[in-house]
């Protein structure tokens, strides 16, 4: 079945440590996204990528980094510069509407919950 796989489901980070969250999709979608979800704040966009080897900062990119070396994969690294990393992280993907304006609906993974030790 096609879908988005996020791993691990739970992740713990020590102070000063970088951790990487995995996101893989087999939907052949061009665009991929990372969101952070905190209680009562909805989803906030961290980074997104519309094509391999290119990505853009979202609303809260500080303390995070991404790469897009393959169409199927969009890993997110939470660096030690992110002072409050405890959150639920969601990865999504979508096709792009023809003509480049607007997006088709996004498909979501089941998320990774990151906590600080």
Partner 1 sequence: AQSVTQPDIHITVSEGASLELRCNYSYGATPYLFWYVQSPGQGLQLLLKYFSGDTLVQGIKGFEAEFKRSQSSFNLRKPSVHWSDAAEYFCAVDFMDTGRRALTFGSGTRLQVQP
Q: Residue 2, interface with partner 1 (CB under 8 A)?
A: no
Best CA proximity match to 23, nearest among 12, 9, 13: 9
Return the residue of 40, 54, 84, 117 that touches partner 1, per CB under 8 A. Answer: 40
d(C-alpha 43, C-alpha 69), whole Å: 25
Tokens of 59: 């609303």
Comparison of 33 and 78: residue with beta carbon closer to partner 1:
33
Comparison of 16 and 105: residue with beta carbon closer to partner 1:
105
Tokens of 17: 């440590």
Best CA proximity match to 73, nearest among 1, 25, 17: 25
Contact between 33 and 27 (Cβ < 8 Å): no
Q: Residue 67, interface with partner 1 (CB under 8 A)?
A: no
Give the residue carrying structure tokens 């979202």: 58
Binding mask 42-61 for partner 1 (x = CB under 8 A): xxxx--x-x-----x-x---
Give the residue carrying structure tokens 């979508």: 94
Return the residue of 25, 35, 74, 93 that touches partner 1, per CB under 8 A. Answer: 35
| Interface stretch with partner 1, choices 21-29, 30-38, 66-74, 78-86 (CB under 8 A) | 30-38
Query: Which residues would be at the binding site for partner 1 (CB under 8 A)?
Result: 4, 31, 33, 35, 40-45, 48, 50, 56, 58, 90, 92, 96, 101-103, 105-111, 113
């Amino acid at each position: 079945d096609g879908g988005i796989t996020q791993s691990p489901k739970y992740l713990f980070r020590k102070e000063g440590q970088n951790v990487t969250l995995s996101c893989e999709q087999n939907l052949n979608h061009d665009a991929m996204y990372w969101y952070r979800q905190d209680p009562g704040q909805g989803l906030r966009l961290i980074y997104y990528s519309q094509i391999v080897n290119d990505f853009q900062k979202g609303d809260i990119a500080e303390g995070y980094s991404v790469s897009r070396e393959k169409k199927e994969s969009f890993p997110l690294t939470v660096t030690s510069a992110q002072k409050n990393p405890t959150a639920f992280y969601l990865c999504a993907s979508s096709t792009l509407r023809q003509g480049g304006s607007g997006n088709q609906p996004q498909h979501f993974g089941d998320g990774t919950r990151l906590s600080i030790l």
